[in-house]
Amino acid sequence: MSVHRRAVEQIRESYATMAQDAPPRLAKATTNLFRFRHGTRTAALSARDLDRVIEVDPVTMTAEVQGMTTYENLVDATLAHGLMPYVVPQLKTITLGGAVTGLGIESTSFRDGLPHESVEELEILTGDGRIVVARDDNEHRDLFRAFPNSYGTLGYALRIRIRLKPVQPYVRLAHVRFTDAHKCMLAMQEICETGEHDGEPVDFVDGTFFEPGELYITLGRFAERAPYVSDYTGMRIYYQSIRTRTRDWLTVRDYLWRWDTDWFWCSRAFGVQAPLVRSLMPRRWMRSDVYRRLVGLDRRYGVIARLDRWRNQPVQESVIQDIEVPVERGADFLEFFHEKVGMTPVWMCPLKAADRWPLYPLEPGRLYVNFGFWGTVPLPRGQFDGYYNRLIEHEVHALDGHKSLYSTSFYPRDEFWRLYNGDAYWPVKRAYDSGGRLLDLYDKCVRGR
């Protein structure tokens, strides 16, 4: 904690001396955001000394963690005690602070909600330069409740205390195939409501849509022993195994990071799924943060766009989003998405919020399905960038759903504040960033400043 206190004082002093006319941004080694700034002057706020696990307490089953700690490091620290966070987002370099203030979801979310729902305490550098400790039972409760989905526009998480839960060494997987999306959603709803399948309890639930007649629900269950374990960190590819195996076994660590090696399936865009390329690729490079850096380089230099023009290919639109719709509308969304966008595969992850969070407008106790889709789609002739993303935004809210803000958004200002609860946001913003030092949520997440 003494090391942490020095790091807090350093970032507080750095923040106080930064130029007032340049919005701050955290200078991090990695990012999982897909909102790219264009020519905006910002001031980098170093977070290099805020990336440690402070303590794991196996008695109280809690962890004290600095805000820029990656889940990869946190999981390694907690698994050593036979524990894990309640929700571990899919990618290793997502930070705990990022998941709490932005998007975080995984296959335990059908029971355990979102990462911020297991947070007990937040130490925050606010927009007005104060260091406050916010809990659900103290004078900063309004900030504690509004922090999820605020994306660093109310302040930055410096220290987080979270609850942990016990694990077993292995996870047994079952991939259950469906040929009809409505039946798949009904089965997912029943499994999540009862917490079991075929009379056995389930600890993890997610799914994959490959095409209208081929969908899978993947069920995981903790196990003390395993007859074998699969390895998807080398030549074998996890998402391909879903279509060819009905049963599988993984160590608990490999299960938590099963999607990271190939960034779900997005590594195919870099040729990494070709056997020859894969055999030559060092394993340490097969991870989501490497692929994300490649995307950033392409955005900067436009390599793929130049190649497409040279090959006379249509202009591509990036469609990189996570959305949630109620489970009873899940099949409707898949039908829309397949017909209008046509990108596959699509990740499906059920979630249920336990409580109401002002800026995360999900109805508590209601089962939603998160659909994740990440790639590019050729634009129809005469259409411009944003065509598909706008279609998706409109359909999601027509289905009583919700869209995460880590990627591009196109909402008009009035509609945005109606959907993302501006009535709750602005009183907290004025209380903790009265001078408007930090961007507001609309400017940051829609205007991309």
16 touches 43 (CB < 8 A): no
Q: For residue 301, is pLDDT > 60?
A: yes
Stretch 304-323: mean pLDDT: 79
Q: Please, which pLDDT band fits residue 293 given cuts at 50, 70 and 90?
A: confident
pLDDT of amino acid 71: 97
d(CA 390, CA 253): 37
DSSP-based three-state secondary structure for 21: coil
Which uninterrupted H or E stretch holds 394? helix 387-398
Strand order from edge to edge, sheet including 247-251: 247-251, 170-178, 214-223, 204-211, 346-352, 367-378, 316-326, 402-403
Q: Which two tokens stand for residue 125?
A: 């550098």
Give, to the nearest 10 degrees, the angle between helix 288-301 and helix 303-310: 60
159: β partners: 66, 123
Least confident of 5-19, 159-173, 254-268, 427-441: 5-19
Q: Could you tell me the CA-to-CA distances from 159 to 130, 239, 319, 416 in Å, in that order?
A: 14, 35, 33, 30
Pairing of β 24-27 and β 43-46: parallel
pLDDT at 200 over 70: yes
Residue 145 has pLDDT above 90, yes or no: yes
Residue 422 has pLDDT above 80, yes or no: yes
119 DSSP 8-state letter:
E
Question: What pLDDT, in 10s, does the model give residues 245-276?
Answer: 999 999 999 999 999 999 999 999 889 999 99
Range with the lowest mean pLDDT among 125-139, 250-264, 279-293, 328-342? 279-293
Q: Residue 305's CB: how many other CB atoms inside 10 A?
A: 14
pLDDT surpassing 90 at residue 347:
yes
What stretch of H or E contains 233? none
Tell me what pLDDT residue 57 has: 98
Give the pLDDT mean for 375-385.
Answer: 91
The whole-number average pLDDT for the span 49-70 is: 96
Question: Is 80 exceeded by the pLDDT of residue 206?
Answer: yes
The average pLDDT across 9-36 equals: 74
- Please report which confidence band the pLDDT of residue 31 belongs to, taking 50, 70 and 90 as the band edges: low
Question: What pLDDT sits at residue 34?
Answer: 54
The mean-pLDDT minimum among 120-124, 259-263, 380-384, 393-397 falls in 380-384
Task: Annotate 240-281 with DSSP letters as a single string.
Answer: HHTTT-SEEEEEHHHHHTTTTTTTTTGGGGGTTTSHHHHHHS
Q: Which domains does the chain have, with CATH numbers?
A: 2-167 (3.30.465.10), 170-258 (no CATH), 302-410 (3.30.70)
Q: Does residue 4 have a pLDDT over 80?
A: yes
Q: What is the mean pLDDT of the chain?
A: 92
Q: State residue 210's pLDDT score.
A: 98
Closest CA to 77 of 51, 102, 44: 51
In this model, does residue 219 exceed pLDDT 80?
Answer: yes
Instruction: Say yes or no to pLDDT of 419 above 70.
Output: yes
Residue-level pLDDT at 124: 97
Task: State yes or no: cis peptide before 364, omega within 30 of 0.
Answer: no
Q: For the residues of 71-106, what is the DSSP string, one character each?
A: HHHHHHHHHTTTEEES---SSTT-BHHHHHHS----
